[in-house]
Every structure is written in C-alpha cells, then in structure tokens.
Chains A and B, each alone.
Chain A
C-alpha cells in the first residue's frame, strides 16, 4: 500500500512542470557552485603552497645572521585550503589567511579575503552547501505542502478515509513518494560530489575526506527528512492549502534567514568579545607587569639571573660558559607564551561559547545545526581555524626556542654581533600542517549533534505514530 501511494505521488510530481523546472534549476545551481568551488580550491591551494614554499626559502637562505635576528625575521605561514571547502566554504572568507611568526609575539591572523570582495558577497557565498541548506528545503516545501491539505480541499481525503486507507500509511506513502522524487536532485548531486572528490585525488587525505563527505551526506539527508516531515505535518493539520503554504513559508524564512542572524547577535550579547585594542593592551600589560600584576618583567629577569648563576656556580654573568641573554630571552619568551595562551584561549573559548549558543538555537531553526556540522565536516569552521592557529603558534615557539638555544650554547653573554652559520636555518624543519582527525571535531559540535538528533527523533516519531490529519 505504502509503495503504491508513493508511486502515485512520484508520478504526479514528475508530471508537474514546476517540479521539473525547479529541480533543473537547483541541479544547475549546485553544479555551478561545485565547479566554482573546485576552481577556487585549486587556485588558492596552489597559491598558498607556493607562498609557503617561498617563505621557507627566504628563511633557509637568510644567510649568516645572529640567531635572535633570525627569530625576529621569522616567517609567514599561510592557512591551507581544506579539500571539502568545495562543498562548504564555511568561514574561510572571514578568517585571516596568514600570520607572521616572529620572536616575542603571537600575531593575529590578518588579511581576511572578505575585505577584498565586493560588498555584494555579504549576501552569501554560492556554494553547494548554500543551495542544499536554503533552496532544497524550499523545493521540499513546494513539493509536499499540498500533500494532505490539497486532498482535503478537493475532497479526496474523505474518499481515501472511506476506502479504509490507514492515515498512517498515507503519511508514510506520501513521505516516501516525495523523498523518491527528491532523489532526482539528490542522487546526481551526491554523484557529482563523489566524482569531484575522486577525480581530485591530488586533494590528499583520501579516505578521511571520503568519510567526512559521507557524514556530510548523512547530515543533509537527516535535515531533508526533518523538513519533509514538518511539511507533511503542517499539511495534515492546516485548515487550508493556503494556510499550509503560508505557515511553511514563514517557517522557511525564520529558519534560513531570520534565525541565523538573530541568534548570532544574541550569542554575541551573551558572550561578548573585547575590542582588539583592549585585547592587545591586556596582553602587553600581562607581559610587562606579570599575569598576577606582582611579577614584572624586571623582577622576573632578576630571578632568572640568580637561578642561572647558582646553576652554573658562577659569580658574574661574564663567567658563565653560556650566553645569559639567550637564557633570559627564552625565559621571557616562555612567560609570554603563558600570557598568549591565557588570552588567545580565552578568545577562542568565547568564540566556542558563541557558536554553542548558535548550535543550541537549532532547536528553533534546524538549519543552524546543519550549518555548523557541515562546516565542521568540511574543515572550514572556527574550530579548524583555531587548530591551525594553535599549530602555527607551536611552530613559532619551537622556532624561537631553536634560535635562542643555539645562541645560548654557542656564545657568551653580550655577544650580539656574533653570527650563526648560514647552514643553520635549514636545520629547523619546515612547517607542515596536519589537519585534525575527525574525532576531534565532535566535542565542539555536541550541541549541533544533539539538536539535530532531537529533530530526527521527532521526525521519526511523527512518521511512526502518524498524527491523524484533519478531514475537513
């Protein structure tokens, strides 16, 4: 029975010119989005890799130099593009793509690509994810809003009831029919995605990306199921076709348009961030006056001096077999690192708290959970950015320590004019970013997973227990 109902629904939809047109348009838009996504991935990936190589070259070839000057010279690192960004760009346009790694200082990421885009880009980027998140739900609503309300208005719902068709089977049949009709868009889209992934074998991580892609498909399917069940439920309970449509369009508008911005602004109010100026001032203060305010830079230097002299059983700094300047620099470096950790972690934790509010907002607008998961899986979310920033910072700390240690062991205090051999720089390994594994992305996404799970359960319960539609 269910299969027969489903077949009838499907045939009806395929015969509907509007459905054919809408599907064709959506498929076209997804294809354009995917192709431009792949193109931009290739271009940016090549550019960032080239820049990274060039920077490494500058570092290696900087010639004989004082190690501390070399640390000041430092290098720039560039954030690599993640392969699945061709599906979902996430926040890529809104995070800086590069940072300068230099002695003494953790710099922020600068040069947000969005700055150089025309203001029209703020309307939203054209990615496959955008089409799937915004337009596909609309297609589902267009397909399924008259499912019950239409039958009721044309009087066929009573006939069906009189024939003894169980309403629960009718619901499941209609759900199945609509879902199969959607296959005409979803199957080619998935194939397109898999092909793009497979053909771009140069993308690198291979299996991990395939798993991520499969999970993305799953998340989107759950989302579509939720939208479909909501549509059918509204259609079953609405007083007329017109009111079913209006309620669903209102839901769509709130879900895809109003809630994302409204809840984002709410999240910002609940967990405000400081200004860049206040942030920089606080960092500078903590470094000069001590994190607790009682341990200033001078006091710290004196303590290190005493400690080093005891350690080497020396009376004066000149008597030390090593360079005390380098020891003091490394100590102040490590102190600075603590300060940076405190402030940068605080900042990223605030971002995480804000994003948590947004994910929780998915109770009202399921799109928010899907958006968050989609970005997370694509590796284009804030957490991924944080991961890159953290690893770049660790690389910086290693680099500065490398130069300080070399300076300490090969010179004596005060030998600022001494130069390390030019072959030294190649000994510090090149920066190689390893993207985090899939498992690490779960904990920041718990609320998104939870809310989407709630929606899924509600949808499944609705399908199984099938609310009785109004007959008249």
Chain B
C-alpha cells in the first residue's frame, strides 16, 4: 500500500514536470528515425538482391534455350565454350539475404558485400564487390536503432537519474523525507524504480511497436528469440547506466557535479575507451595489407604465365584428378587459363592463410578488449542479434568459399574433359543456398556479452546501494 502510494506520488511528480515528456518525445523521434533508416537500407538490399536474381534467371533461361536448340539439331546457335560458361555466361550469385531483424540496424553490413557473382576465376576477382556508398557517409555511420540504443539511450537514462538524491537535498525535501517514518534508502530506491520502469518500459514498448510497424516477420525461424535477445541486451545496458547513476548519486555531490561526472563516464564508455581500444588493436595487431597481397598476386600470376607449359604440367602433376581426364590440348585455351590461374592460386595459398591469420588475431584481440566498455559489447551484440555482424559475414564468406570450390570442380572437370556442355550439365549446375547461423550460436555470443555488461552493473549497483546508506543522506 505504502509502496504503491509512493510510486504514485513519484509518477505525479515526474508527470507534472515538462522535461520527462520532452525527453520521451525526443527519444521516440530518435527511435522512429533510426528504424526508418534501418528499414530503408534493408529494403534497398532486398531490391538489389531481387534485381540480381532476376538478371541470373534471365541469363540462365537464355542459355537453357540455346542448349535446347542445339540439342534439337539447330547448328546456327552458338553456345560459349565451357570455360566461358563457368566464368561468365552461366555463373550464379551467392546471396546472403538480410536476416529477419535486419531492418533494426545497418551495422557492418554497409561495408561488406551481400552477394557475390561466383565464377571459376579466383575468389579475388569477384569477392571485392563493394556496394556504392559515399565514403563520407560510411565515416559518419548510420543513424539506426543500434546507434540510438548505444549512444542516445544512456543519455535519456542519465537525464532522469543524475539528480535522484542530490535534487532532494538541494530542494530541501531530504530533511522532510528523513523525518518521515520510512527507510530513506528504500524511498530513493522506489523513486529510482519508478524512473527506471518508465525509461526501460518506454524503450521496450517503443522498440516493439517500431518493430511491428516496420513489418519484421516475427514468424521467421529464430526471429522471436532474436527480438527477445535484443530487448534483453537493451535492458541490461539500461541497468548498467542506472547502476552508474546510483553509484554517482551515492557519492553525495551536487547535481551539477553528478551531471559532469556521469557525462564523463558516458564519454569514457561510449567514445574514449572504444577509440582507444581501436588504437591498441590496430597498432598491436595491424590489419594485414591488401596492397601487398595485390602486388604478390600479380607477381605469382606473371611467374605462372612465364613458365607456360611447365606451369600447366606442374598443375596437372599436383592435381591427378584433372590429369586423369586428359591433358588439355593446345587448342583448349580455357584449360591452360585454369591451369595457370590455379598454379598462381596454389602459390598464393600460404599468403592468403597468413592474411587470414593476421585478421583473425586482430579480431581475437578486439574481442578480448571489448569487455572494457559495455558500449562496444552492446553495439556488437545488437548487430549480432540483427544479423548485421562481421561474424555473420564470415559465416557467409566461408559458405561462398565452399560453393566456389564446388563450382570450380564442376567446371574444371568439364573443361579438361573437353566435352560440350550438355543440357544434363545445365541441370546439374550447382546453386547457392545461404544457411543462416544457428540461433544457439548467436545466443552464445550475445550471452557472453551480456555477462560482461551485467558484471560491472552488479558491482556498481551493489557499491552504490551500500554507500547510499551512509553517505548519500548526509548533507555535504
């Protein structure tokens, strides 16, 4: 009874003030704008994927018709040589469609390709397939829901909680409160609980409404679990900032000092620590050089080309399964091209491996260091949940690798066998189907992030709570 009455009073106080309403309005607008931007990007990607798929369908239908006419004995029809089919005319796209929650963030997805025109050529020729974007926009970053959550949402929480205790003291109501037959700390906690419920409730509600309004398919596999994860991460991050506010309030300083101190914490967590982590990671574990890789690839390709026949026979010696089909005749230009290309790729393989190992080391270091700031953890977790993480891209990239190898095998055999491309071959053309990461995998990664967000939350909260009893109520 007493609790509910106190809560009602606190609510009336808040509702009577203009600031919370303005803040709520502002935050609502931020969320809507963020969701709108995310939605536009997801729609853009879906439309691009649709036109890419359309192009593939038209091209393959034409090829199919040509093969049919040739099979029917029409001699006027010219079908490209098998190698050219595998390199251009028959190629297929490996598409990574946006996940069910894709419209919630842009994340890393503006930097990484989401479709690849896989051919029998080396991977380097088709994987660099950047979407067009003004570099200035990439630098500024997107105004999406994840941005609103990581950067703006803490400010909303801090604006409502920075003077929780100090205002009572400065308004002189603390003395009044202390004279009442209540435990002061409990009253303060209740005030906090009302405000926290308000912010967190508003956020959860707004997010859910926005998600529903943007037409996220909650029936898609894993969508509900991911949405729950998203809300879980948001709640944990909110709890972290509330705990920080409690701890600062418990130091018993003035409202202005509290505001400055909390702003300092916010700045450190959201701006400074992430940037310094980035500096440490990039200096200690510099990204491997794609520039050097480009030069080396050209060098080994030249070497293979200069060796000519030697390189071709070397390739056949290394790949008996191809040699079995018969050495490419001098007229088999594609056979030679492939042999030279694979010779260069074989030489590059250790370089690619070293490159990937260096990238991996950098990512490992970043993963270790990100526990230093809940903001990094939360941003990565939100991107992860929405299927916009670098991890999802790597997952896709690995599938592209497998598909590419299969595609190459399919065509290499036929090129070396020097048989015409039949309708049977056409029917057997490999197709790419993206397999999304299992939800369990995402839950595991996000769960780890949640743990490291909640750890400082609990420490700060407990410390602040204990200290509030002794210090906060004294008049300084």
A residues touching B (Cβ–Cβ < 8 Å)? 29, 32-33, 36, 39, 43, 47-48, 51, 54-55, 58, 62-63, 76, 78, 90-91, 93-98, 108, 110-126, 130, 134-135, 138, 142, 241-242, 245-246, 249, 253, 257-258, 260-262, 264-265, 267-269, 273-279, 281, 347, 350-351, 354-355, 358, 381-382, 385
B-side contacts of A121, CB under 8 Å:
278, 281-282
Other-chain residue from A120, A264, A276, A350 in contact with B376 (beta carbon distance below 8 A): A120
Other-chain residue from B136, B277, B286 in contact with A381 (beta carbon distance below 8 A): B136
Minimum CB distance partner of B255 in chain A: A242
- In the assembled complex, the CB of B286 is this many whole angstroms from the nearest CB of chain A, namely 8
Minimum CB distance partner of B166 in chain A: A242
**In the complex, what distance in Å separates the CA atom of A264 from the CA atom of B260?**
29
Given contacts A58-B298, A354-B137, A385-B135, is CB(A138)–CB(B290) below 8 Å? no
**In the complex, what distance in Å separates the CA atom of A6 from the CA atom of B289?**
52
| Contact, CB under 8 Å: B136 / A48 | no
Given contacts A112-B111, A242-B259, is CB(A355)–CB(B134) below 8 Å? yes
| Contact, CB under 8 Å: B278 / A125 | yes
Minimum CB distance partner of A76 in chain B: B294
| Contact, CB under 8 Å: A94 / B139 | yes
| Contact, CB under 8 Å: A124 / B51 | no
| Contact, CB under 8 Å: A51 / B294 | yes
A-side contacts of B112, CB under 8 Å:
115
**Is B398 at the interface (CB under 8 A from chain A)?**
no
| Contact, CB under 8 Å: B48 / A268 | no
| Contact, CB under 8 Å: A36 / B279 | yes
**In the complex, what distance in Å separates the CA atom of A134 from the CA atom of B151?**
14
**In the complex, what distance in Å separates the CA atom of A36 from the CA atom of B390?**
25
> In chain B, residues 286-300, which have Cβ atoms closer than 8 Å to a Cβ of chain A?
286-292, 294-295, 298-299
| Contact, CB under 8 Å: B256 / A242 | yes
- In the assembled complex, the CB of B103 is this many whole angstroms from the nearest CB of chain A, namely 14
24 contacts between A and B (CB under 8 A): A33-B279, A39-B283, A51-B294, A54-B295, A76-B295, A94-B139, A110-B128, A112-B138, A113-B287, A116-B288, A119-B379, A120-B274, A120-B369, A123-B275, A135-B267, A257-B152, A264-B140, A265-B33, A265-B37, A276-B132, A277-B48, A277-B51, A354-B134, A381-B136
Given contacts A36-B279, A264-B143, A277-B51, is CB(A108)–CB(B290) below 8 Å? no
B-side contacts of A47, CB under 8 Å:
289, 291-292
Minimum CB distance partner of B44 in chain A: A275
| Contact, CB under 8 Å: B292 / A119 | no
A-side contacts of B55, CB under 8 Å:
277, 281
| Contact, CB under 8 Å: B130 / A112 | yes
Interchain residue pairs A-B with the least CB separation, the first 9:
A118-B366, A123-B274, A91-B135, A116-B287, A94-B138, A94-B135, A261-B143, A264-B140, A110-B128
B-side contacts of A97, CB under 8 Å:
290-291
Most A CB contacts (10 A, CB to CB) among B33, B152, B289, B362 go to B289
B-side contacts of A55, CB under 8 Å:
295, 298
**Range, interface on chain B:** 35 or more
| Contact, CB under 8 Å: B141 / A355 | no
**In the complex, what distance in Å separates the CA atom of A2 from the CA atom of B59?**
79
A-side contacts of B130, CB under 8 Å:
96, 108, 110, 112, 276
Most B CB contacts (10 A, CB to CB) among A47, A116, A134 go to A116
**Is B276 at the interface (CB under 8 A from chain A)?**
yes
> In chain B, residues 74-91, which have Cβ atoms closer than 8 Å to a Cβ of chain A?
none
Interface string of B119-139 (1 = CB under 8 A from A): 000000000111111111111
Given contacts A120-B281, A123-B275, A258-B152, is CB(A115)–CB(B294) below 8 Å? no
A-side contacts of B363, CB under 8 Å:
118
Given contacts A32-B279, A265-B143, A277-B52, is CB(A123)–CB(B271) below 8 Å? yes
| Contact, CB under 8 Å: A93 / B290 | no
> In chain B, residues 200-231, which have Cβ atoms closer than 8 Å to a Cβ of chain A?
none
| Contact, CB under 8 Å: A120 / B111 | no
Other-chain residue from B30, B256, B383 in contact with A119 (beta carbon distance below 8 A): B383
Other-chain residue from A249, A261, A265 in contact with B259 (beta carbon distance below 8 A): A249
Minimum CB distance partner of B163 in chain A: A242
| Contact, CB under 8 Å: B37 / A118 | no
**In the complex, what distance in Å separates the CA atom of A110 from the CA atom of B135?**
12
**In the complex, what distance in Å separates the CA atom of A109 from the CA atom of B146?**
29
- In the assembled complex, the CB of A34 is this many whole angstroms from the nearest CB of chain B, namely 12
B-side contacts of A142, CB under 8 Å:
260
Main secondary structure of the interface of A (DSSP, over half): helix
A-side contacts of B196, CB under 8 Å:
none
| Contact, CB under 8 Å: A246 / B259 | yes
Other-chain residue from B129, B271, B294 in contact with A98 (beta carbon distance below 8 A): B294
| Contact, CB under 8 Å: A76 / B298 | yes
| Contact, CB under 8 Å: A111 / B137 | no
**In the complex, what distance in Å separates the CA atom of A86 from the CA atom of B275?**
16
| Contact, CB under 8 Å: A58 / B155 | no
**In the complex, what distance in Å separates the CA atom of A218 from the CA atom of B389?**
40
| Contact, CB under 8 Å: B137 / A119 | no
**In the complex, what distance in Å separates the CA atom of A277 from the CA atom of B46?**
12
| Contact, CB under 8 Å: A382 / B136 | yes
Q: Known pairs A94-B138, A265-B37, A382-B136. 17 more at Cβ < 8 A? A: A33-B279, A58-B302, A94-B139, A98-B291, A110-B130, A115-B111, A118-B278, A119-B108, A123-B275, A123-B379, A124-B278, A125-B278, A126-B276, A245-B256, A269-B40, A275-B51, A276-B130
**In the complex, what distance in Å separates the CA atom of A121 from the CA atom of B383?**
14
Minimum CB distance partner of B150 in chain A: A123
| Contact, CB under 8 Å: B291 / A78 | yes
**Is B359 at the interface (CB under 8 A from chain A)?**
yes
A-side contacts of B44, CB under 8 Å:
275
B-side contacts of A381, CB under 8 Å:
136
- In the assembled complex, the CB of B130 is this many whole angstroms from the nearest CB of chain A, namely 6
| Contact, CB under 8 Å: B359 / A120 | no
**Is B370 at the interface (CB under 8 A from chain A)?**
yes
> In chain B, residues 261-283, which have Cβ atoms closer than 8 Å to a Cβ of chain A?
263, 267, 270-272, 274-279, 281-283
| Contact, CB under 8 Å: B275 / A130 | yes
Given contacts A98-B291, A111-B290, is CB(A126)–CB(B279) below 8 Å? yes
B-side contacts of A245, CB under 8 Å:
256, 259-260
> In chain B, residues 335-367, which have Cβ atoms closer than 8 Å to a Cβ of chain A?
359, 362-363, 365-366
**In the complex, what distance in Å separates the CA atom of A261 from the CA atom of B132?**
18
B-side contacts of A126, CB under 8 Å:
275-276, 278-279
Given contacts A142-B260, A277-B52, is CB(A111)–CB(B291) below 8 Å? yes
- In the assembled complex, the CB of B195 is this many whole angstroms from the nearest CB of chain A, namely 17
B-side contacts of A277, CB under 8 Å:
48, 51-52, 55
**In the complex, what distance in Å separates the CA atom of A122 from the CA atom of B282?**
13
**In the complex, what distance in Å separates the CA atom of A350 from the CA atom of B365?**
38
Given contacts A54-B299, A119-B366, A119-B389, is CB(A91)–CB(B139) below 8 Å? yes
- In the assembled complex, the CB of B254 is this many whole angstroms from the nearest CB of chain A, namely 9
- In the assembled complex, the CB of B294 is this many whole angstroms from the nearest CB of chain A, namely 6
| Contact, CB under 8 Å: A249 / B263 | yes
**Is B147 at the interface (CB under 8 A from chain A)?**
yes
B-side contacts of A51, CB under 8 Å:
291-292, 294-295
**Is B185 at the interface (CB under 8 A from chain A)?**
no
**In the complex, what distance in Å separates the CA atom of A257 from the CA atom of B47?**
31
**Is B395 at the interface (CB under 8 A from chain A)?**
no
| Contact, CB under 8 Å: B131 / A261 | no
B-side contacts of A120, CB under 8 Å:
274, 277-278, 281, 366, 369-370, 376, 380
**Is B423 at the interface (CB under 8 A from chain A)?**
no
Given contacts A119-B108, A277-B48, A354-B134, is CB(A90)–CB(B139) below 8 Å? yes
- In the assembled complex, the CB of B55 is this many whole angstroms from the nearest CB of chain A, namely 8
> In chain B, residues 39-74, which have Cβ atoms closer than 8 Å to a Cβ of chain A?
40, 44, 47-48, 51-52, 55
Minimum CB distance partner of A276 in chain B: B132
Given contacts A58-B299, A115-B111, A351-B134, is CB(A261)–CB(B279) below 8 Å? no
- In the assembled complex, the CB of B45 is this many whole angstroms from the nearest CB of chain A, namely 9
A-side contacts of B40, CB under 8 Å:
269
- In the assembled complex, the CB of A278 is this many whole angstroms from the nearest CB of chain B, namely 7
Other-chain residue from B260, B272, B278 in contact with A117 (beta carbon distance below 8 A): B278
